[in-house]
Amino acid sequence: MTRRLFLLFLGLILIATASYAADPSADEGDDGYRLWLKYEAVTNAAIKAEYLKYTTFIGNSAKGEIGQSAAQELQTGLKKLLGKNINVTSSFGARSGAIVFRIVTSSNQIQQEEGYQITLSGGNILILARSENGILYGVFALLRHMQMQRTLKNLNVASSPKIRYRMLNHWDNPDGTIERGYAGASLWKWYELPERVDPRYADYARANASLGINGTVLNNVNASARFMSQEYIVKVAAIANVLRKYGIKTYLSVYFAAPKTLGGLPTSDPLDPQVRAWWKEKVAQIYKEIPDFGGFLVKANSEGEPGPQDYGRTHADGANMLAEAFEPYDGIVIWRAFVYKADPNADRFKAAYEEFVPLDGKFDPKVIVQVKNGPIDFQPREPFSPLFGNMPKTPLGIEFQITQEYLGFATHAVYEAPIFKECLDSDTYVNGEGSTVAKVVDGSMHGYARTLMAGVANTGNSRNWTGHPLAQANWYAFGRLSWDHQLSSEQIAQEWVALTLTRSQKASGHITKMMLRSREIYVDYNTPLGLSRPWMGVHFAPEPWQNKGSRPDWTAVYYHRADSAGIGFDRTSSGSNALAQYRPQVQQKWIDPDKTSLPYLLWFHHVRWDKNLSTGKSLWEELCTRFYTGADSVLWMQQQWDLAKPDLDSEVYANVAQRLKVQRREAIWWRDAWVLYLQSLARQPIPAGFEPPKQTLEEVKQSVNVYLMR
Report the catalytic residues.
303, 377, 405
What single letter denotes the amino acid at residue 385? S
Q: What is the DSSP string of 676-710?
A: HHHHHHH--PPPTTSPPPSS-HHHHHHHHHHHH--
Determine the Cα–Cα distance for residues 528 and 630; give it in Å rounded to an integer. 9
220 close to 172: Cβ distance less than 8 angstroms: yes
Please provide the distance, in angstroms rounded to a whole number, between the alpha carbons at the two ends of the chain: 34
Q: H-type helices in 442-504, by residue range?
A: 472-483, 489-500
Closest CA relative to residue 367, chosen from 297, 311, 307: 297
Q: Long-range contacts for 490-499 (Cβ within 8 Å, ≥24 apart)?
A: 490/516, 492/417, 493/415, 493/417, 495/144, 495/148, 496/36, 496/472, 497/473, 498/147, 498/148, 499/36, 499/37, 499/38, 499/144, 499/147, 499/148
Closest CA relative to residue 419, chosen from 434, 403, 442: 403
Determine the Cα–Cα distance for residues 306 and 308; give it in Å rounded to an integer. 7
22 close to 12: Cβ distance less than 8 angstroms: no
Measured from the CB atom, the residue of 392 and 549 that comes closer to ligand GCW is: 549
Shortest reach from residue 406's CB to ligand GCW, in Å? 8
Shortest reach from residue 382's CB to ligand GCW, in Å? 12
Shortest reach from residue 539's CB to ligand GCW, in Å? 6
Measured from the CB atom, the residue of 215 and 566 that comes closer to ligand GCW is: 215
Determine the Cα–Cα distance for residues 25 and 175; give it in Å rounded to an integer. 30
Shortest reach from residue 334's CB to ligand GCW, in Å? 13
Measured from the CB atom, the residue of 377 and 422 that comes closer to ligand GCW is: 377
Measured from the CB atom, the residue of 31 and 405 that comes closer to ligand GCW is: 405
Q: Other CB atoms closer than 10 Å to residue 161's CB: what's the count?
A: 24
Shortest reach from residue 327's CB to ligand GCW, in Å? 27
β 607-608/566-567 pair status: antiparallel
Shortest reach from residue 221's CB to ligand GCW, in Å? 5
Strand, coil or helix: 276: helix
Determine the Cα–Cα distance for residues 425 and 166; give it in Å rounded to an integer. 18
Determine the Cα–Cα distance for residues 123 and 84; give it in Å rounded to an integer. 20
Q: Give bridge partners of residue 440 from the DSSP assignment.
A: none
Tell me which residues touch ligand GCW (CB under 6 A): 171, 179-180, 221-222, 299, 303, 338, 377-378, 405
Angle at 198 between CA 194 and CA 202, to 5 degrees: 110
Measured from the CB atom, the residue of 378 and 496 that comes closer to ligand GCW is: 378
Shortest reach from residue 220's CB to ligand GCW, in Å? 6
What single letter denotes the amino acid at residue 192? E
Measured from the CB atom, the residue of 80 and 180 that comes closer to ligand GCW is: 180
Measured from the CB atom, the residue of 38 and 170 that comes closer to ligand GCW is: 170
Measured from the CB atom, the residue of 405 and 442 that comes closer to ligand GCW is: 405
168 close to 217: Cβ distance less than 8 angstroms: yes
Shortest reach from residue 297's CB to ligand GCW, in Å? 10
